[in-house]
Amino acid sequence: MYKVAVIGDSASVMGFASLGLSVFCETESRKVEKLIKRLAENEFAVIYITEPVAVAVRETIGKYRNSRLPSIVLIPAVKGNTGDGMRAVHESVEKAVGSDILKN
């Protein structure tokens, strides 16, 4: 059975534990890179990662962009957001339907 993980600072990710997701309070880039690799090898289908942490491991995330699994999804953090997560959603929607239907 596939699993779901959340990576980021504790203030941003601890609430996800109550939903039954595997929560990893980690922000140091080398540790996050190793963690993503380990999660990908252990049947994690979705990895949510806070935007500030994702910035530090952008290259590692890119390695999984064309992989079937895991799907790595950027989510906002309590602070330090970059807007990358919402931009990625807009790009995915535009690619899927041919137009950015989420535009305001």
Instruction: Find the DSSP H helices in the chain.
Output: 10-13, 29-41, 51-56, 58-63, 84-97
pLDDT tens digits, 4-49: 999 999 999 999 999 999 999 999 999 999 999 999 999 999 999 9
**7's tokens:** 């990576």
Is 61 domain-assigned?
yes
* Confidence label for 104 from pLDDT (cuts 50, 70 and 90): low
Give Cα separations from 47 to 22, 36, 97, 98 (angstroms): 9, 8, 24, 26
Is 29 domain-assigned?
yes
Is 104 domain-assigned?
no
pLDDT at 102 (0 to 100): 67
Q: Of 22 and 68, which is predicted with more confidence?
A: 22
The SS3 of residue 1 is: coil
Number of domains in the chain: 1
Is 90 domain-assigned?
yes
C-alpha–C-alpha distance, residues 61 and 54, integer Å? 7
Is 75 domain-assigned?
yes
Give pTM, 2 decimals.
Answer: 0.85
Hey, what amino acid is at 80?
Answer: G
Any idea what DSSP says for residue 21? -
CATH number at residue 87: 3.40.50.10580
